[in-house]
A = this chain, B = another copy of it.
Amino acid sequence: MAVKTLIEGVREALAEEMERDERVWVLGEDVGRKGGVFLATEGLHGRFGEARVLDTPLAESAIVGVAIGAALNGLIPVAEIQFADFIHPAFDQIVSEAARIRYRSNGDWACPIVIRAPFGGGVHGGLYHSQSVEAFYAHVPGLKVVIPSTPADAKGLLKSAIRDPDPVMFFEHKKAYRLVKGEIPDGELLTPIGPAQVRREGASLTCVAWGLMVHHCLEAAEAVAADGISAEVIDLRTLRPLDTGTILRSVEKTGRALIVHEDNLTGGFGAEIAAVVAQDGFEHLDAPVTRVAAPDVPAMPFNHPQEEAFLPNPEKIAAAMRKLAVY
């Protein structure tokens, strides 16, 4: 058991799975000799060679499309999209193709691929190196959407994703890569895709988040504890399939739900969670289901003042918690 960073969790998962199964194939821009722009694939090229750790041409649609084809012929591709902001050119290959290979062939063909992409802001990435894109994919039947918030989950969930028989979108918060440290148990670590995790128990309100926002929520929860507010914090970990059970059980206990995400408010995945709570948790609600999210502007600006203004942070979340608790 050793304390590691989130990106180390990613790196260990890739290395172990490539070691275990020679069908596992890493591809993407700069994943080879450079080891990826965030060094998530560092060392793999030297260890497994160019054919299994491939620097692709600059073409996201082909990265996904070629991965799909390779999966049809026996490989297990793990594609890296350099920044989630650059996944859009591959939207069609992911939504029309990867997500539907099994369904449209009535189960004859399968598409066991993983698509990894760093997302999220607060790193002076500007409009195109900061986006959250999970809502687009969490709406697509046939995809699984996973977002780890701890080093252990980054490793355990990525290993499960690589072994999953269906396409998995795996989003990693780039600011959390080195900021978030935690213990990773030694030995085989396979964390199931699906179940959410209660990171903090509480009775006053239920806070649902994913990625870096989980840590902001925990910080906010500590801050409001002083005012006698006990916030339960749920780390969703998997957005699709959604663990409604864990969310609803918590709301049943607290009667109050706060959903936090870094993505824009309108049509963000928080809306789905709010809709589920509003429909299935109605009897238990003592206050309006509340969302804290980024404003509806096209991604966060590069300049520091506006980047700050854009991002949800522990202060904004704590304020929402206080408001909700006294409703």
Mark A residues whose CB is within 8 Å of B. 61, 85, 88-89, 91-92, 95-96, 99-100, 103-104, 127-128, 135-136, 138-142, 240, 242, 264, 266-272, 274-275, 277-280, 282, 285, 287-291, 296-299
Contact = CB atoms under 8 A, between A and B. Distances in A.
Contacts of A277: 278
A280 B271 contact: no
A128 B88 contact: no
A274 B278 contact: yes
A92 B88 contact: yes
B266 A240 contact: yes
B136 A298 contact: no
A300 B75 CA distance: 30
A206 to B, nearest CB: 14
Contact of A139 (B61, B264, B275): B264
Nearest to A92: B88
A128 B271 contact: no
Given A92-B91, A103-B297, A267 B278 contact: no
A289 B298 contact: no
Contacts of A91: 88-89, 91-92
A141 B301 CA distance: 14
19 contacts: A88-B96, A91-B92, A100-B298, A100-B299, A103-B127, A103-B297, A104-B127, A136-B139, A138-B266, A139-B264, A139-B267, A139-B268, A141-B296, A240-B266, A242-B266, A266-B272, A267-B271, A278-B288, A282-B285
A270 B267 CA distance: 9
A240 B296 CA distance: 11
Contacts of A267: 135, 138-140, 240, 269, 271-272
A188 B297 CA distance: 33
A91 B61 CA distance: 12
A273 B291 CA distance: 13
A128 B96 contact: yes
Contacts of A298: 99-100, 103-104, 140-142
B266 A139 contact: yes
A92 B89 contact: yes
A272 B268 CA distance: 8
A8 B82 CA distance: 46
Contacts of A88: 91-92, 95-96
A216 B257 CA distance: 33
Contact of A279 (B92, B264, B266, B274): B274
A242 B240 CA distance: 26
Contacts of A240: 266-267
Contacts of A264: 139, 141
A280 B266 CA distance: 14
